Amino acid sequence: MIKKLINIEKYTIPQMLLLIAFIIMVLPILLTVPAIFNFLNFSEKGQIGDTIGGITAPFINGLAAILVFLAFKEQIKANEIFKNQEKSKMILDQISLIQEDKMEIEKIIGGIIRNLSYYQSPFNAGNALLLNKLTYFITEIRLTNDLINNYSGDKDFLYKKLHYLYTIKYKDIMNELNKRLHPPFYCHADYTTYIFDIQIAIQEFNTTFNDINKFKVNS
């Protein structure tokens, strides 16, 4: 409870003003009315003038508190904006990497499709390399999509960039590969895990990139 009360970044400006006004109004009363205990009774002290005069201090302190509060709130907003900008840049960089496609995934998938019969034989490093490259590429798409899902800014813009990129450039060839990997295709046990993970990922992408307006905010 105390932690919630002192968590000032949760307060609005009107709430802070009301709190300070309440303190300023109540404090003089507490200091000037007869108290239950004599050691708390300031109403008959010779220094009552100084006491009342000192009560004006909360006005100054209250103003200072408001200024500190406003500065603190603005700093929090600025930090959030900066974090969102950094996250947005990271996501855009990831999308750019996928778009650049330095590994030439379309050629890799084409090579896998043309040489499916090779995967009926025991493990071969060259054959596994193509599957590893495709798996790495799939991981990059998954990572980018996860970053978008966890982003607190404009998800719609970033998601649409990734959606259109995947749909235009990779979806057809990915689905063609998935089609070829289904029975009656048979692969050696050495490649089962590779093939299964790739099939799951392609099905996942078909679901993930199914709705272009998934993050659209209705105005």
Four-CA torsion 24, 28, 29, 34, nearest 10 degrees = 160
Q: What is the DSSP string of 69-115?
A: HHHHHHHHHHHHHHHHHHHHHHHHHHHHHHHH-TT-HHHHHHHHHHT
From first to last of its 219 residues, the chain has per-residue pLDDT tens of: 444 555 655 666 667 667 766 766 666 665 555 544 454 455 555 555 555 556 556 666 766 777 777 777 778 887 887 888 899 999 999 999 999 999 999 999 999 999 999 999 999 999 999 999 999 999 999 999 999 999 988 899 999 999 999 999 999 999 999 999 988 889 999 999 999 999 999 999 999 999 999 998 765
What gap in Å lies between CA 159 and CA 144, rounded to an integer?
9
Same domain, residue pair 42 and 135: no
Q: Are residues 200 and 129 in the same domain?
A: yes
**Domain tally, the chain:** 2
Domain region containing 178? 83-208
List pLDDT tens digits, range 6-52.
565 566 666 766 776 676 666 666 555 554 445 445 555 555 555 55
Q: Looking at the structure, do residues 55 and 93 belong to the same domain, yes or no? A: no
Same domain for 107 and 58, yes or no, is no
State the average pLDDT for the chain: 82
Domain boundary among 26, 47, 77: 77
Query: Which of 77, 97, 116 finishes a domain?
Result: 77
- Secondary structure string (H, E, C) spanning 26-48: HHHHHHHCCCCCHHHCCCCCCCH
CB 129 within 8 A of CB 135: no
